[in-house]
Amino acid sequence: MRFHILTLFPEMVLNGLQTSILGRACGKGLIELNAVNIRDFTQDRHNKVDDYPYGGGAGMLMQAQPVYDAWKSVAGKQKKPVRVLYMSPQGRPFSQELAKQLAQEEELIFLCGHYEGIDERVIDRIVTDQVSLGDYVLTGGELPAMVMIDAISRMVPGVLKNEDSGVTESFHENLLEYPQYTRPEVWEGQAVPQVLLSGDHARVEKWRRQQAQERTARLRPDLYERYDLPGRALLYLQRDKLLHMDMLEDIRRGQAQVLCVRQDGVLLRDRISGVYMITAKNRDAGERLLSLTEPEGAAYTCHQYFLVESIRARFGKDNVGECFQAVYPRKTPSEALLSQAGRVQIGRLDESYTDVVSRHYRLLHDRTYLQRRLACGVMLGAFLDGELAGFAGVHEEGGMGMLEVFEKFRGQGIGSALEAALIGEELERRHTPYCQIFSDNEISLALQKKLGLRIADRKIYWIS
């Protein structure tokens, strides 16, 4: 990998980078350092590269022409465009994730400013990325460039002796590094943790993971909030599986965008429907989570009523539905369930049934939504003597629903057969079958109990 550094101080850059690990990497040809002296490209007879800023102000600005010509001396030799990183406090904060991304490039150009900065015209012309090392001021861009080159080089294959080092140190997976120890075994009365002396690699790995988690939560809570969001969300939600089965399944099926996991709440957004799913221990936690949402046109599934009150007050939404969540707890269909499914002919419905389905089911969704569900192949129909008698399907968020039996066919167990068939299909997909029943729908609640579903003792609320 080649690093080109456009600078007024090439010796400073090379002296700092051609030692230790990076020096060895240069010797092996794994990375190349090309320090380009911007002053070599000035057209001023006194070798000046700066001048006073128009409009007045303190300090001097680097001129556009020598910077542009220095860049051209590098970029003009490349077969394809090369990213130009300008070291600037106005830029995107540098991070381990960005270092990994930049390490995929074959060449990079670093532009190091000095004095009060660089003429904006050349920045606009050549810079692809403005990057900042932090919210403080340095004399020039050389030190930030050196720091970034060091971090990026560690991601280049072969630069580190231990190939695992680049992916096990601090900030990997948004965790700080675990504590490390070397000889002697006891120093100043402090002993190395016994687990590290056990020779049990599995125990050592578990201890290191726990230490990294605890250290990150204590020292960098901002970083910990981004660590293993799906895994931490699952741990939180599993404390009450029945109440949270919709959120659990959204994560397990890969549909969830996990927006935030706190000690007192979880916020998801379903990638397909855009529905927010939220649970919180108290109103304050709920308010903090709701602040992360974009309420315009959004729908929410709330797992506590105080969240509904907050959404009404903050976002002016007042269309609320109260539901109980029902969950099929078995991994395989019971005999009773199989007997229900076999009572009538069940077939898959396609888009050709859009008109009849939309004509009979008008509860919550419009024709376009129903057509999309039919196109996805998740709608089943019950047929008696070749005539469609009812239908049911799976919603975008993953819950079973849209169960409708036509009036003249009611009382014949068709609803039970349809839902039993849906449960069977969900189990074949390795999903946990669940549905959400309006709290005043006594008939449907009784059906869930008949089919062996367990009903949560607390309500959830849809609000839009």
DSSP conformation class of 118: B
Strand 265-270 versus strand 256-262 pairing type: antiparallel
How far apart are alpha carbons 179 and 146 in whole angstroms? Answer: 27
Residue with the two structure tokens 């800023």: 53
* Cα–Cα separations (whole angstroms), residue 309 to 260, 276, 346, 463: 21, 16, 42, 10
The helix (run of H) or strand (run of E) holding residue 371 is helix 367-375
φ and ψ of 434, to 5 deg: -150, 160
Per-residue pLDDT of the chain (464 residues; tens, 9 = 90+): 999 999 999 999 999 999 999 999 999 999 999 999 999 999 999 999 999 999 988 889 999 999 999 999 999 999 899 999 999 989 999 999 999 999 999 999 999 999 889 999 999 999 999 999 999 889 999 999 999 999 999 999 999 976 545 544 556 678 888 999 999 999 999 999 999 999 999 999 999 989 998 998 899 888 887 788 899 999 999 999 999 999 999 999 999 999 999 989 999 999 999 999 999 999 999 999 999 999 999 999 999 999 999 999 999 999 999 999 999 999 999 887 888 867 789 999 999 999 999 999 877 668 999 999 999 999 999 999 999 999 999 999 999 999 999 999 999 999 999 999 999 999 999 999 999 999 999 999 999 999 999 999 999 999 99
